[in-house]
Structure 1
């Protein structure tokens, strides 16, 4: 079995071809992985070694790869290092893990192709990782073994079940694929980044600009198709394998099987009007902004208002600032009345525009980026007080960009509304009482030096530790995974972890699907 990487906190840009990492970088990785493994409390013995200590890439012999090509047929395409399209497909969106190159990539066109890849990997003891969008913050969607690329399976089609509209989404579809099918005028709450896979978004819960109105992405999941570790294909719904459906509603990707299709309950948005707003302020207004936005959200009984508040450090082009981005399901006039106190702070940039629903969603999409990043998250059940807000502002003021593309940020994603109407145990996603999700992070260029990376990591850790103490919680969002997070199973899943481990044992008793923070790889004290 190819051994897997636990903490891959290596400098990016050192390897631009397909060679293995050099010894200096590998030793640095091993040291970090050992610390992370001890902190996380991984299972002792072979499992801990397999997931915490990286090894040089391994691969079966060429006869095995020829066998895989023959088995795939029309179900998929195999790419090996040096072949056309390999490097482009191999690179994850988070370039922090760009050095981890798979021994082979299967781009699957069908569920049957995925099943073939899984059976072959088991037969030849090759580690296997599925990828939909490839945005995993902790590098869990890349591997030294076999990468199963689902991107060709990106269909989006409507269906009516018992008179209710549904959207059927392929396992490789991204947010942009859903938005490109506006002709159906059917929508389920999705994410902001166009290239993010619907699969990963859903399996981790699913934050977006409409979760306060209609719930998280996972809340609208009614059925999903999976390829299990033995290659068999099953459906999970309320009628069959309901425990597996529950696990797929926030239990994290790469844990129970490879999801090849999703069915979502959909909302007809053909007649909806939405007003987008994009406001930027000097960092000094951060405390007042956070206070005002809290009041707006608490007054918004219909849950029509949703926003993201981002504090950013200086990046070479701008000084420290705060951006408020979001939309209101309604006309411009009532939104401006809601935002009166916010607008009175005189934003340096002010954009408010009433438009149709789909045009609003297009505006809210994040620009595509290729960068390396780190993220730490928190899911507090109470709003930050003025002292906490001032601490965030102070951190952004002290941030020093150390090179092109190097910036630090603290982002708050509003929660509540429909997300809080679901009980914590009704889905695997447990943080139903969270008022918002913190994303504390930093970005840097792929070729950044060790100094830039180390300083960025230190600054992010400082801010995270401060906010964790102030919020009195370590609860975290599994779709913002942090390789250094201690007791991650408690942070991501809380009381739901025990049930997740039982479902893991039922559907994947040998832990074929695994990564450094996969369900079942941590001791649980009950």
Structure 2
């Protein structure tokens, strides 16, 4: 049974170190399935969303429920195996898989239980946002989620969670009411504002450092079924003026408005005229999640900016809005690198720097996105949970996407150098769901969270994972 690539890090055991009877016992105990390198479905099971990530775990344990997760955690702990946790598999840095270890795959736990009267939803750790939106919108409800429907609920929530409802209803983690967690010692715990408050504080922005979250409970809000949107695509000939007009509007926009400014290219797909495909564009995008007529009135100044090449504005079903970007970010087919940086402001100098870089993008798929923050996000006290950066007015995201491995070095170098150049417009923090590959390691976390909050995260890590079993993440190291 012990075949395939089982290379592991120094000091970690491999499949060859595990007695046959122990492995057979583990496989038989799972209600789900254990996929090994010789199995037909192995190659599909080992892959994740980012096509750059090419790793070969010794075992993929597809967990059918909490009991399977407990069994898997105890197995890796008892045998000293490296472990990765896969929810939606969307993590850009590739933390959802590993070489030579065991992947706890939660994808079978893709369930949603909506309480429309109480306006809450319990969601399995393997769910994706498309599934959540489908179930909650049946009752005219939603919780802030991601902007690509295939994104996993778990990773997005544990890192914060930006979406189209953020300025009215906050981040995804702001709407979290409780979590169920399997910790490194195999215990099954619930954490909330009134139970294990230290753990609940930490999972809201501290990532997957503290255990395997098997269920999330969210607060829901009335949303839709349609929302007012603006989406105008402009030539970049006057991109700086368009961005300035967008900035001036969002500075005084009501909380119902969450907006982005996107510098990209017309996708090379049949939906667009052939002569315009791959042409650079500046996209003005905004969503108003309140009254539909009021939203269209409020957003009209954005729609009137410039003379767009395309105007896709208008009332949009919320479920469709959540899926708009799905075709352009497919799983496994493309190579991805996403880096981010909070901006202290968006003055003309910062805009000019971003626009200049947009003109030198090394690939037509590279997308630069300026996220408007504030509103409900900024009203949560900074120390209420682990998530950091609430007072930052804007976030710059560098989303590099390309096809060919031969372009890896060129695209990575361009993205990293741009990120470094923009430091002068930032206090240095970033959104930890867009960390690149986390190259800066602990320094990145300390800079984002600040020393005091980082030390508090280390205390929680030490309490629940003192041996750092869960280290394939934006890792907070336990105290020695």
- For the 8 Å contact 1:193–1:366, the answer to whether it is kept is no
* Aligned pairs for 1:271-290 within 5 A: 273-290=226-243
Structure 1 residues 97, 307: CA separation in 2 closer, same or farther (over 3 Å shift)? Answer: same
- For the 8 Å contact 2:149–2:322, the answer to whether it is kept is no
- For the 8 Å contact 1:205–1:217, the answer to whether it is kept is yes
Deviation at 1:443, TM superposition (A): 1.4
* Aligned pairs for 1:339-488 within 5 A: 339-340=300-301, 343-363=304-324, 367-369=328-330, 370-380=333-343, 382-401=344-363, 407-445=365-403, 447-449=404-406, 452-469=407-424, 471-482=425-436, 483-485=438-440, 487-488=443-444
Match among 25, 32, 35 for residue 79 of structure 1: 35
The aligned residue for residue 306 of structure 1 is: 258
Aligned to 2:405, what secondary structure does the other structure show? coil
Residue 90 (1) aligns with residue 51 (2): no
The aligned residue for residue 32 of structure 1 is: none
Q: Which string of whole-angstrom CA distances, capped at 9 and with x for unpartnered residues, describes residues 46-105 of structure 1?
A: xxx859xx9999763543321211221x2x21000131322112101011112x111100
Structure-2 separation of matches of 1:103 and 1:251:
27
- For the 8 Å contact 2:146–2:322, the answer to whether it is kept is no
Structure 1 residues 399, 66: CA separation in 2 closer, same or farther (over 3 Å shift)? Answer: same
Match among 423, 431, 455 for residue 498 of structure 1: 455
Q: Which string of whole-angstrom CA distances, capped at 9 and with x for unpartnered residues, describes residues 133-182 of structure 1?
A: 1111211111120001101111111237xx73210001101101111213
- For the 8 Å contact 2:210–2:461, the answer to whether it is kept is yes
Stretch moving more, 61-70 or 368-377: 61-70
Aligned to 1:420, what secondary structure does the other structure show? helix
The aligned residue for residue 6 of structure 1 is: none
Give the TM-score normalised by structure 1: 0.81
Q: Which string of whole-angstrom CA distances, capped at 9 and with x for unpartnered residues, describes residues 363-422 of structure 1?
A: 466644131111221112x32221221222222222343xxxx63232112211000000
Stretch moving more, 206-215 or 391-400: 391-400
Structure 1 residues 327, 456: CA separation in 2 closer, same or farther (over 3 Å shift)? Answer: same
Equivalenced residues, count: 462
Match among 243, 248, 261 for residue 295 of structure 1: 248
Structure-1 separation of matches of 2:434 and 2:233:
25
Structure-2 separation of matches of 1:341 and 1:166:
34
Structure-1 separation of matches of 2:325 and 2:51:
24
Q: Which string of whole-angstrom CA distances, capped at 9 and with x for unpartnered residues, describes residues 166-217 of structure 1?
A: 1000110110111121323321100011111111111000000111110000
Structure 1 residues 342, 354: CA separation in 2 closer, same or farther (over 3 Å shift)? Answer: closer
- After superposition, the CA RMSD in angstroms is 2.7
The aligned residue for residue 65 of structure 1 is: 23
- For the 8 Å contact 2:130–2:322, the answer to whether it is kept is no
Q: Which string of whole-angstrom CA distances, capped at 9 and with x for unpartnered residues, describes residues 331-390 of structure 1?
A: 35753564436524111111112245444444466644131111221112x322212212
* Aligned pairs for 1:6-405 within 5 A: 60-72=18-30, 74=31, 76-98=32-54, 100-144=55-99, 145-159=101-115, 164-181=118-135, 182-253=137-208, 255-269=209-223, 273-301=226-254, 303-312=255-264, 317-329=277-289, 330-331=291-292, 335=296, 338-340=299-301, 343-363=304-324, 367-369=328-330, 370-380=333-343, 382-401=344-363
Structure 1 residues 359, 458: CA separation in 2 closer, same or farther (over 3 Å shift)? Answer: closer
Structure 1 residues 502, 109: CA separation in 2 closer, same or farther (over 3 Å shift)? Answer: same
Stretch moving more, 392-401 or 240-249: 392-401
- For the 8 Å contact 2:366–2:402, the answer to whether it is kept is no
Structure-1 separation of matches of 2:302 and 2:130:
34
Q: Which runs of 5+ in 1 are unaligned?
A: 1-17, 27-48
Structure 1 residues 117, 295: CA separation in 2 closer, same or farther (over 3 Å shift)? Answer: same
Structure 1 residues 399, 159: CA separation in 2 closer, same or farther (over 3 Å shift)? Answer: closer
Structure-1 separation of matches of 2:370 and 2:16:
41
